[in-house]
Chains A and B, each alone.
Chain A
């Protein structure tokens, strides 16, 4: 009998240990903190971003006695499948990082904390209007615009000079940015001088970056949705698609650099396969480290107007957070002027506060070229942001990947491509 009860105790012990182990596993990558005064914060980040997150968290903890913020860093590739699973299981982190394209999915599904009470009208006015629009859904803020990041055109100056292009007179501001035609002329000149296995430029629409094609649509003064209907099938849409298709037809870009390419554009630039690349400012430190040649940044080409992609990320709180007030307070701290200036300076990312625009931030790497990105960020209009952060964006991104690839390298006609994109946008909206 004694032996039997000993066994029973062992069995119960084993079961309890297993249950504890499994419950520990269930919290993988997050889980709402249950302690009063503690938060869980899930994000991805480069080395520089991680260091700044940790430093700012320490500052927040020092300013708020008894508060602790647990940072959980995950690879970007796993970030949103983890968050989706955690939201579905009801154990999402209190605070998490999200890109503007994914934010619309979460806010429209009622997964995020409404921050209306946390910011006064005056405080909202301190942010760039387009960026505040980016974190809002139907007028309600569901996050804070932590930083932004836009693409500009990086050029290998030697390759341009070798092709006979005067590198002393390259455009530096939005006023003297190349038109599409001038950009095409430069590409033609480069194509004529480069060997067959090198290319004039590469565009950064690979690996979930297909939405960056929309910069061309916006430059042509086009739109892709008015909120309920698709508006991409237009003269502007046709012009943008025809021009970007010509990149492949003219041999201006590597054939494997289409929207379903598996190699990032900046890799083709740093290895010398492409003379120019479109890239976000967050890549400047990496490119600076990897390249052995001279390069500089130019504004994106313009058509009817200037435009670029809405990169960067917001910080949001889960609506089921156990400490919603503290979560809101932490978000406010992370986008305070001092915290934002510190984060952006160290990571070469752009601020979302108007007081920090221009040359208010001393960037850590290549401060000489950062004004081009700062200038470029001003080309994003609130109407672009409204479309780019709409709940349909995740589906639009996938449709762009498929349809643009079919148009660029599959010979699909412009008419069919625009019609298919229209259908996909409307299906996602309904």
Chain B
């Protein structure tokens, strides 16, 4: 059998393997994206006859203060969650990668929120941050502090959703970092110890650089997740009080499904897509560690 024929057969096999995925991606990802893009140029309630309005939805977006507030809140939420999720995930992974007693139990507890739906976790968080009767305010009152307006004041409301989001995502970050840590050869640490490196020096000079690919992956995943945060905010604050926790996805949902301005909601969705793509592209281009392997 000639080399060309073998290569084309391999190519064909490759295409056959990837075809089911491509079909599913096309059906459930690319078609809806194109559909949403078309919808964003229309004025429609989802049923009845849609009206083609060109760029009207986008020009309305530019002049909509709640959209800009939601964009700002999304950025604040991202900045407030992602660093803690990365640092916390790595710290927990290092801790639970060591000879910690009952580490299996601790890993389970940290990973547990991952297997619960976002809505259910949000409900748990509501019980904790419930302003009049919640656990957090009860504890604060018990130790002599004033209760916090988690549901009636903008700052504390944002803080409550940030805390809940970090709690929810730490487990995922820890698992990815654990996998990364277990790929680092113990000989490197032994050599460092022989050279007299302290634990902190080992962490800085060996652990942090060698989990670089994990950090790159998690940075992108966490930023995308933060830009697409919905369930926890929807359940905990509904975007309030006074839009102080309104983010792009809750605002898109509000327009698309509550006010039934589906074209306008789709335009917000397309903005989220573009921002996410732009961020991923910049990260991809600027991060040199992404393919670093030991």
A109/B242 in contact, CB under 8 A: no
Q: A262-B151, A273-B133 are in contact. Are A398 and B241 (CB under 8 A)?
A: no
> Total A-B pairs in contact (CB under 8 Å)?
84
A110 beta carbon closer than 8 Å to chain B: yes
User: A-facing mask of B141-179, CB < 8 A → 1, else 0?
Assistant: 000000101111000000000000000000000000000
Q: How far is the CB of B272 from the nearest CB of chain A, in Å? A: 19
Q: CB-CB < 8 A to B151: which residues of A?
A: 255-256, 261-263
Q: CB-CB < 8 A to B47: which residues of A?
A: 84, 87-88, 109, 111
Q: CB-CB < 8 A to B89: which residues of A?
A: none
A80-B257 Cα distance, complex, nearest whole Å: 8
B126/A84 in contact, CB under 8 A: no
Q: How far is the CB of A428 from the nearest CB of chain B, in Å? A: 9
A410/B237 in contact, CB under 8 A: no
A6 beta carbon closer than 8 Å to chain B: no
Q: CB-CB < 8 A to B133: which residues of A?
A: 271, 273
B240/A405 in contact, CB under 8 A: yes
A262/B149 in contact, CB under 8 A: no
Q: CB-CB < 8 A to A120: which residues of B?
A: none
A208-B238 Cα distance, complex, nearest whole Å: 11
User: B-facing mask of A229-260, CB < 8 A → 1, else 0?
Assistant: 00000000000000000000000001110101
Q: CB-CB < 8 A to B86: which residues of A?
A: none
Contact residues on A (Cβ < 8 Å of other chain), bracket: 20 to 34
Instruction: Give the secondary structure class of B's interface.
Output: loop
The answer, among A80, A110, A405, A410, for a CB contact under 8 Å with B48, is A110
A156-B271 Cα distance, complex, nearest whole Å: 50
Chain B residues numbered 222-238 whose CB sits less than 8 Å from any CB in chain A: 235-238
Q: How far is the CB of B94 from the nearest CB of chain A, in Å? A: 37
Q: How far is the CB of A412 from the nearest CB of chain B, in Å? A: 9
A170 beta carbon closer than 8 Å to chain B: no
Q: A87-B47, A105-B45, A256-B149 are in contact. Are A409 and B132 (CB under 8 A)?
A: no
B131/A398 in contact, CB under 8 A: no
A56 beta carbon closer than 8 Å to chain B: no
B242/A405 in contact, CB under 8 A: yes
Chain A residues numbered 242-295 whose CB sits less than 8 Å from any CB in chain B: 254-256, 258, 260-263, 268, 271, 273
Q: How far is the CB of B126 from the nearest CB of chain A, in Å? A: 7
Q: CB-CB < 8 A to B48: which residues of A?
A: 109-111
B258 beta carbon closer than 8 Å to chain A: yes
Contacts A255-B152, A261-B240, A262-B240 aside, 10 further interface pairs with beta carbons under 8 A come to A80-B257, A84-B260, A105-B45, A255-B131, A262-B151, A263-B151, A394-B259, A395-B259, A398-B254, A406-B242
